[in-house]
Amino acid sequence: MKILNTEIVKGKSYELVINVAKLHTRNSMSVPVLVHRAKKDGPVILLNGAVHGDELNGIEIIRRLINGGFHKPDCGTIICIPVLNVFGYLNISRNFPDGRDLNRVFPGTKNGSLASQLAYQFTTHIAPHVDYMIDFHTGGADRVNAPQIRCAPSDKKALELAEIFASPFIIHSKTIGKTLREMMNKMGKPVLLFEGGKSCIFEEDIIRNGVAGTIRVLNHFGMTKDRPEPKYKTVTLSKSSWLRAPFSGMFHVTVKNGSRVNKKQELGFITDPYGDFNKKVRAPHDGYIFCVNNAPIVYKGDALFNMGVAAHEESLMTRQDD
Ligand SMILES: [Zn+2]
């Protein structure tokens, strides 16, 4: 196995780099890539963080796995890229300095935008070696995700691994064009996309959930003897849609993220600053709330709650996903 022009020998660790750019400050920007290949054969697993530079929980999840020695498996190879979008991470920003979203430019091009060039290097030098990837994300802006694994319903291997990961939710979600997940899926590689918490902060419960789930997946492949007991009975949601703000105003959330709700149950309310306007936001059908927008001010049409249903209750949903 040769990664980034380096021969990866059994029983050894490597700290490689993807060279991204030479800056006008005369500094070079590069992405560290940690690789450890065990003496015994096994799968190659990539743990990938911060495709979006402000999604910090995943960085800490991978850091703790490295700190705990889980990046040195009993068999196979583990590749750790805790921070793929180094530019965004430095600025605690989702995107590249030119505003591009790294997760919308895969597979990238050799001479494209800076984000596209990094995507191209990843696609060319990292992706071909990977058997399975766990890609760590959080909700964007003020949106808070309950811990969940997102998989394409057609990706049977990923769904099987998602059950082993055992986060509170598995969400069936189609891939979005030009994402890292779509590129990997097109190469035939199963991807577990972990979503947990929100951007720009570290959240202890989310981090613990991500660490424990990853260890369970590594255990499944015989890469570690550890196997933390799952704390949740995973709920699989086959259909989901956003519940949008029916009014503009100050938004107050009353429902607990991750909870089961009944049709017409109050989820929150919207007020104006002058005392007499107060409108409740109610669940349009029975289901589960797995993402909450914590923005204090919302406009009519803003996404407030992501709500899903299990396969046997799809008929409950009256709204169309948009
Ligand atoms: Zn993300």
Can you give the residue ranges of every domain in the chain?
Answer: 2-220, 241-316
DSSP assignments along 171-220, one per residue: EE-PPPTT-HHHHHHHTT--EEEEEEEETTS--HHHHHHHHHHHHHHHHH
Distance (Å) from CA 144 to ligand 1 centroid: 12
Ligand 1 centre from 138 Cα, in Å?
6
Distance 103 CA to ligand 1 centre (A): 8
So what's the architecture of 241-316 in CATH?
Answer: Beta Barrel (2.40)
CATH classification number, 2-220, choose in 3.90.226.10, 3.40.50.300, 3.40.47.10, 3.40.630.10: 3.40.630.10
4 in Cβ contact with 16 (< 8 Å): yes
Q: What is the pLDDT along the chain (322 residues), one digit of tens a residue?
A: 999 999 999 999 999 999 998 899 999 999 999 999 999 999 999 999 999 999 999 999 999 999 999 999 999 999 999 999 999 999 999 999 999 999 999 999 999 999 999 999 999 999 999 999 999 999 998 999 999 999 999 999 999 999 999 999 999 999 999 999 999 999 999 999 999 999 999 999 999 999 999 999 999 999 999 999 999 899 999 999 999 999 999 999 999 999 999 999 999 999 999 999 999 999 999 999 999 999 999 999 999 999 999 988 888 886 544 4
Nearest alpha carbon to residue 83 among 68, 97, 98, 102 = 102
Distance 232 CA to ligand 1 centre (A): 24
> ∠ CA 155-158-164 to the nearest 5 degrees?
145
CA–centroid distance, residue 92 to ligand 1 (Å): 13
Task: Tally Cβ neighbours within 10 Å of residue 133.
Answer: 24
Model confidence, pTM? 0.95
